[in-house]
Amino acid sequence: MQNFVGVGVFRGRVIGPVRHMPPALAEPPAGEKLESSTAPETAAASLKSAGATVKAALQERASRADGAGKEVLEATALMATDPMLIKAAVKLINTGVSAERAIWEAGDSVAQMLTNLGGYMAERSHDVLDVRSRIVAALRGVPAPEIPDAAEPFILLADDLAPADTATLDPSKVIALVTAGGGPQSHTAIIARSLGLPAVVAAAGVAGIAEGDLVFVDGSAGVVSTEPGDAERAAVAQWQEKASLLDVFDGAGALADGTLVPLLANVGGAKDAQEAAAANAQGVGLLRTEFCFLGNSTEPSHDDQVAAYKGVFDAFAGKKVVVRTLDAGADKPLPFLTDSTEPNPALGVRGYRTDLTTPGVLARQLGAIADAAASSGADVWVMAPMISTPAEAADFAAMCTAAGLRIPGVMVEVPSAALTSRHILDHVAFASLGTNDLTQYAMAADRQLGPLAALNDPWQPAVLALVQATVDGSVAQAKHSPALGLETPSPKPVGVCGESAADPALAVVLAGLGVSTLSMTPRALPAVAAVLRTVTLAQAQALANRAVAAASAAEARELVRAGLPALAELGL
């Protein structure tokens, strides 16, 4: 047996066979020529046959899919033998270009042409790029760059996953995620939590596990073991027994003494919102609007945006929905906003900053949010990602007012915003801590890098101190707010919508630090609610003080876990 230790990011224990995610496909080198021994006619015939193979494989997959997935696969299948695409490639082959390079370049031109047409046609440009990669893979005789398809449920093993990969992730087939890279705040971790899949990230060495080998995954302990035996089977059985205790959230987040801590949901669109409502989330604390448009190569139209937002609002009529404006950039590039050549995208023009380089998109988005809000019964709040200064907060608030949106707020995910929250909150109505990015920026550790997972840990006392500073800033702001009479108003709300809110022990610390709401993937609601209910505010404050004063993330975690016996009782 071999044990691999990584970071557990979602609880659960399973045993299953491993399937590897194929590596990303390398672009055929520019200027690659046909080999002198290959006639252009032969290369053209190979290309056509590769197109037909891809078409047949996609049609076979479509026959087993349903709903929107089936339609996408059927449309993509047809594109694999599309005469315009193939003719353009054959033309290049006839000038001496290799078949792989020819289909690559032909795919580029067709995609560009579709993009220029705009609207529905522009959306299809991604399908063309997808198909050309599949054809290149077929020509090379390597697996297509996609989540593998298998008849039996399996454990997906990857280097890391991007948000776009989820489009083809079938949760009835994939029973756990294991990655060699990524950290606890990476998108693999977010995807795992949102799908409720046991997951271990940053597990160095797992790439060496052979395809099809049976492994045991423990998403709480962060362990992956090959050749599972009786002990591992017993651990899985024990987990299955306890898991049912954490199936349901009753819709009322509170501490043992009755202090309310509303528990909200992080969602990426209408479908998520419906699931969140069914899971009794008390509202939406983070609508990641960029997730609604990840595949778009052009700015979504006003009507498309209104429809996407309204789908979420309608699921939460009468409740709070916090909409975050597009957070494009770094690990979530949107072609119409992001410069893919930036040397350091996490520190680049992302989030609110794209308004500097692509003005207009944000104002139009706010207009669409306002229209969707006006025709729905949700209590809509709006916040901007990646705010760094009070001046940016003031500008954003002015744009919201101009659009008719009444409750502007900011994400606090840059340390400068945490440290100046007092002044930022002079301009906006609320703040929401994005602890994923706050951790990566506080620790100067890219959240996508496996080797930096230990730094990228929201239990780092430095990160907890920034959370504390943000809350302290809101208290100071209330005391010094110029617009009052004698009475001190309540501090403006400071919530948390980073992944840290989904960790039941850390949720206790955040509540103890004075955070007003916690927003998380709906799957985490029952466990967080169950543990919060076991402590009073005074106990949560005492645990929070210990965590902030700890010398390391590990010490903070240990001190707090030791004070929460409910964790062991619930198998968390």
182 lines the binding site for ligand PEP (CB under 6 A):
no
Encoded one letter per residue, x for contact with ligand PEP by CB under 6 A and - for no contact, window 102-121 reads --------------------
Q: Please, which residue, 77 or 161, has the CB nearer to ligand PEP?
A: 161
- Give the three-class secondary structure for 177: strand
Q: Please, which residue, 246 or 287, has the CB nearer to ligand PEP?
A: 287
- Report the distance separating Cα 424 and Cα 410, nearest Å: 8
Is there a catalytic annotation at residue 187?
yes
Q: Please, which residue, 4 or 441, has the CB nearer to ligand PEP?
A: 441
Alpha helices, DSSP H, located in 404-536? 415-419, 421-424, 435-443, 461-480, 504-512, 525-532
- Report the distance separating Cα 445 and Cα 345, nearest Å: 13
The sign of the dihedral angle between the CA atoms of 59, 65, 68, 69 is negative
288 lines the binding site for ligand PEP (CB under 6 A):
yes
437 lines the binding site for ligand PEP (CB under 6 A):
yes
Binding segment toward ligand PEP, per CB under 6 A, in 68-76, 244-252, 273-281, 434-442: 434-442
422 lines the binding site for ligand PEP (CB under 6 A):
no
Q: Please, which residue, 448 or 477, has the CB nearer to ligand PEP?
A: 448
499 lines the binding site for Mg ion (CB under 5 A):
no
Q: Please, which residue, 255 or 382, has the CB nearer to ligand PEP?
A: 382
Supply 289's token pair.
Answer: 């609007």
193 lines the binding site for ligand PEP (CB under 6 A):
no
327 lines the binding site for ligand PEP (CB under 6 A):
yes
- Report the distance separating Cα 89 and Cα 417, nearest Å: 51
Question: Beta strand 174-179 with 263-267: parallel, antiparallel or unpaired?
Answer: unpaired
- Report the distance separating Cα 105 and Cα 122, nearest Å: 18
Beta-carbon neighbour count of residue 478 at 10 Å? 16
437 lines the binding site for Mg ion (CB under 5 A):
yes
Out of ligand PEP, Mg ion, none, which partner does residue 435 contact, by CB within 5 to 8 A per kind? ligand PEP
498 lines the binding site for ligand PEP (CB under 6 A):
yes
- Report the distance separating Cα 3 and Cα 231, nearest Å: 14
Residues 385-414 that bind ligand PEP (CB under 6 A): 413
- Closest Cα to residue 196, out of 247, 231, 157? 247
The DSSP element (H or E) to which 410 belongs, if any, is strand 408-412
Out of Mg ion, ligand PEP, none, which partner does residue 288 contact, by CB within 5 to 8 A per kind? ligand PEP
The DSSP element (H or E) to which 298 belongs, if any, is none
- Closest Cα to residue 326, out of 311, 309, 307? 309
Q: Is 361 left (phi over 0), alpha (psi -120 to 50) or beta?
A: alpha
Is there a catalytic annotation at residue 20?
no
- Which one of 187, 400, 423, 427 is the catalytic residue? 187
Supply 266's token pair.
Answer: 């992080």
Q: Please, which residue, 436 or 456, has the CB nearer to ligand PEP?
A: 436
Query: Binding-site residue total for ligand PEP (CB under 6 A)?
Result: 10
Active site residues: 187, 497
**Which residue ranges make up the site for Mg ion (CB under 5 A)?**
413, 434, 437
**Which residue ranges make up the site for ligand PEP (CB under 6 A)?**
286, 288, 327, 413, 434-437, 497-498
